[in-house]
Structure 1
């Protein structure tokens, strides 16, 4: 009798210990999951910052080249101005009328030199103001250049008549484009080709980014043509899975949320045997002010 009671007590103790361990492991697992999620967000943010910095560097490098050219012209104009001023000073001693004509010409030359110097200041100040504001579609071609330098081949087409965008919408579209290209390079690797298209409609915009990351990886890893064909072969089941699968991840979530803020419809999915496709359709972007669907009474 006592032995049975002891056995029951032992089992109860073991059950309590196991329950306690289960709770501890669950807490540790949750903490690990939170840290991993935070790490993914941190890597995503760091990658975006890196691309922004490289883009800014490329823009400022081009601006400095323009400043150097204008500065060289201004210095040359100033040197000629000084030379002609010295000539006018010597001419004034013997022929005052010649000195008057020379002084008139000096005034004109001085205005030209002053205009060149003001152009230098204008370009420099524009660089400061651009550096201070958020990137937009005016930076898209520079973004393509940065991605090409990193190993992603980018093709771009645009159709329709572009219309002005509100700053928030322009930034959202730029971030979607930036994230999609960064993901194409991250998952497809160097040599991946991305095709970007902007289709402007009367009231909206359709943004499409297709890449061949699967084929690019197969090209790098295949030893022969048959090996490449085997790695890129897909079935009807693969097509059906691609149509029904739900793509998740921090970058995908952020892109979807950015699109929804401006009435956009976001889709992302695998293209079997080829790569990945991202689309964002904004049917009423021209008239969408960024507060549609937002509860402004709170």
Structure 2
């Protein structure tokens, strides 16, 4: 339908141009030109042959968009015959102007210049050798100006069309780039939320599992101790729900006012105390003068300690102990979690938690080392670079 519609429009235009050209051809007969003071010696009066040639010159207008230069060349044949037979119309006709405009509008500069050259040359030939040779020089100048103006209008339209296409293409590229950036941002945000949820759930569920196991073992012999363990489970569960609500609340636009601050190294004493209640003897050591730490590094350091202690609680075994060391240096923050257990992580691949910690540390340009200690046990250590002491 898109191909047929321009062809239909051009066919209608060809019919209109033919009607106008025939009318001009019939009206401008030798008698009228003589009345206007123009010498018309040798000029033939309009007849059936002349009308047929005019119609043949107008017919190529129907394919002016598909083959503009070919249509112009096809129209030149009857135009030349009319000049040679003495009818004297030349390329100043309406069909010639329409085809010249089409060549300039739908083809490149080289073809457009070729079309303009053909138009000018043929008119010059008809002006020198044809019946219109007696026209005044001002009349020839007007025809030349009209030809150049029609050609310039076609070129201007082509350049404007190309400019609009470039704008559309640029807008499409920008839209695709924006969509790609949006997808990347969403994927990054999903990954971040997944890491946060894993760290929260893995830590609290591990603590609750250990405390539930302890409560089950002493339920019959020491109900008071079992009650303390159950209370600790309840408290840990509430903490897990609160943290998960804060994380998931980021996805809700109406929950921003309810969000609390993210945990950081200021919460390490409470985390260590929680691990002690769960049965892992834990010690916190802080060296150096604490200074301002970027929020992202603060959260990453906290999650590293949380994941390290969770793995120690899960894999170190009964009677194991852990030490958390935080060392503040002028240009570096050193965080280390060590335990003296049997290092159960060596029996398999690191879990998603340690993979997430590796991504967190790499995000802030830190260096992470995970592995067994030389004297036994397991160690998780990260060193975060700080710029200008921050």
TM-score scaled by length of structure 2? 0.34
Question: If you compute each CA radius of gyration, which structure gives the higher value, 1 or 2?
Answer: 2
Higher relative contact order (CA 8 A, sep 6+): 1
